[in-house]
Amino acid sequence: MAHTWTVATMDYDVTQGDNSNVVTCVHWRCSKTDGDHSGSSYGTVGLEPPGESFVEWDDITEATAIGWAKAALGDEQVAAIEAAIDAQIAEQANPTSGTGVSW
């Protein structure tokens, strides 16, 4: 199963230069389920001003925002997030520690 990236919300400036509703931050979630086990990570990433690549608010799709978030994080950080989720799932499948009481 692949990792699933979603956007919880986005922060934006109401006006920035001549543009309206300019996204400045993406709040993302990455999750994965493997059988009965699952893992996830949540975070935020700030975006650089869009310059000439500005996209109107009504034209922004979740896929676009995910692309912005991943680009801002960078390939190395995206891979690290996905690896950490895989590690969560592996720990659930084969625990190396536990908590509880003996009675």
What is the pTM assigned to this prediction? 0.91
- Cβ–Cβ under 8 Å, residues 47 and 68: yes
* Predicted pLDDT at 1: 80
Q: Is residue 101 part of a domain?
A: no
Q: Is residue 72 part of a domain?
A: yes
Q: Is residue 100 part of a domain?
A: no
Give the integer Cα–Cα distance in Å for 14 and 40.
Answer: 31
Domain coverage including residue 76: 4-93
* Predicted pLDDT at 51: 87
Per the structure, how many domains does the chain have?
Answer: 1
Q: Is residue 43 part of a domain?
A: yes
Q: Is residue 25 part of a domain?
A: yes
Q: Is residue 38 part of a domain?
A: yes
pLDDT tens string 35-62: 999 999 999 999 999 988 999 999 999 9
pLDDT tens string 92-101: 999 999 999 9
30: left (phi over 0), alpha (psi -120 to 50) or beta: beta
Give the integer Cα–Cα distance in Å for 43 and 26.
Answer: 8
